[in-house]
């Protein structure tokens, strides 16, 4: 992505996410499958912009790549817990942590990604695919609600969406492997 495109995306996405956060939190599907990835993506865009203007961040990402990776994986995994989504709806301190920690997870993931070994990046891609499949399946077959604020139908709809995300992501991974996609630096 070019820097101008990153800047335009960042400038467009931040106000949209902030303005529409009440709408995005009305259903479990939009909350977990739209808002949370968008917050991580905004952080990733911001990190891409920061790296172009501050070359010291590249060195920082190389030096602390494991710590940055562990932070981002822990944070993203933590926000997949349905009870934490409930807490973010009713407690402003938890909501503030969501709005702070997820963009920071996107920033840390971008800063460390190019410095990770190729095999580890492949494992992380496969683990993301497996997590989408596991959560989608779990939300589809669960006999009870996991989020108190959302109904069982919304939970099952989220399961379908996560399985759809997994299918699209799996096709993307397969095509990049089979067609010899360019290597990310």
Annotated domain spans of the chain = 3-178
DSSP letter for 54, please: -
Per-residue buried b or exposed e for 116-135, using 16+ beta carbons within 10 Å of the residue's own CB = beeeeeeebbeebbeebbeb
Residue 33: pLDDT band with limits 50, 70, 90: very high
Confidence at residue 14, expressed as pLDDT on a 0 to 100 scale: 72
Residue 182: pLDDT band with limits 50, 70, 90: low
Say which residue the tokens 């190389």 belong to.
Answer: 62
Mean pLDDT, the chain, integer: 89
* pLDDT tens sequence across 36-75: 999 999 999 889 888 888 889 989 999 999 999 999 999 9
pLDDT: is 10 or 130 the higher one? 130
Mean pLDDT of 106-116: 95
- SS3 helix, strand, coil % of the chain, rounded to 5? 80, 0, 20
* pLDDT tens sequence across 76-91: 999 988 889 999 999 9
Residue 21's H or E segment, with its range, is: helix 21-24
Confidence at residue 185, expressed as pLDDT on a 0 to 100 scale: 46
């Amino acid at each position: 992505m070019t820097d101008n495109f990153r800047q335009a995306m960042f400038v467009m996405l931040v106000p949209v996410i902030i303005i529409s956060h009440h709408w995005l939190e009305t259903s479990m599907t939009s909350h977990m499958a739209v808002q949370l990835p968008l917050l991580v993506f905004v952080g990733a865009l911001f990190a891409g912009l920061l790296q172009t203007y501050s070359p010291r961040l590249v060195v920082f990402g190389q030096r602390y790549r494991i710590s940055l990776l562990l932070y981002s994986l822990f944070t993203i995994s933590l926000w997949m817990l349905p009870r934490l989504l409930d807490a973010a709806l009713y407690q402003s301190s938890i909501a503030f942590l969501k709005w702070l920690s997820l963009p920071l997870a996107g920033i840390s993931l971008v800063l460390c990604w190019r410095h990770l070994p190729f095999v580890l990046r492949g494992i992380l891609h496969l683990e993301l695919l497996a997590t989408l499949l596991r959560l989608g399946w779990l939300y589809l077959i669960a006999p009870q609600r996991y989020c108190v604020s959302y109904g069982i139908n919304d939970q099952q709809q989220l399961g379908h969406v996560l399985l759809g995300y997994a299918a699209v992501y799996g096709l993307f991974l397969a095509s990049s492997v089979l067609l010899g996609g360019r290597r990310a630096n």
